[in-house]
Amino acid sequence: MTGKTAQDRNLQAVMTMAANGILGNWDIVRPYVADDIVLHVPQSLPWGGDSHGWEGYQQALITMGKFFAVMDVEDVTFTPIDDSVIIRLTIKGSIAATGKAFAMPLLEVWRVKDEKVFDITAYFFDTKALCDA
């Protein structure tokens, strides 16, 4: 048997980024991020819009982290398809400004080339409910 497939390597890159990015472990995440990465988040969220490049990606995650007092994930699945990895999960926690609890499904599409993530699109189930909380 030869080495890992491209899909296996892409999956490993995304899993490493997902586990470490929200924690701010930038030294672990950086090798897997393309210089021209674009993060697409719904405009209605405080960290929403398109964030470009390494600094934009970092800032979006930092802003997102400040929005939540507590955020946990459960029921996480990673599915590699061609040059993408689809992440399906449920986010739960509380909002920093209000302390209100929330829970909702989230789907993300991470596109990967040469083991570097270059595009992430986040599909929140209900952005209005999240902002209202």
Higher pLDDT, 74 or 22: 74
Residue 44 token pair: 């209605």
Class of domain 6-132: alpha beta
Q: CA dist 115 to 41, 75, 81, 98, 100, Å?
A: 22, 25, 14, 39, 38
| CA dihedral sign of residues 18, 79, 118, 9 | positive
Q: Which pLDDT score is estimated for 15? A: 95
- List the chain domain ranges: 6-132
Higher pLDDT, 111 or 66: 111
pLDDT average, residue stretch 11-36: 92
DSSP of 78-118:
EEEETTEEEEEEEEEEEETTT--EEEEEEEEEEEEETTEEE
| Secondary structure class of 4 (helix, strand, coil) | coil
Task: Give the whole-angstrom CA distance, residue 10 versus residue 15.
Answer: 9
Q: Does residue 2 surpass a pLDDT of 70?
A: no
Q: Which are the contacts of 114, defined by CB distance < 8 A and separation ≥ 6?
A: none
- The predicted-structure confidence for 25-62, as pLDDT tens digits, reads as follows 999 999 999 999 999 999 988 888 999 999 999 999 88
Q: Does residue 129 surpass a pLDDT of 50?
A: yes
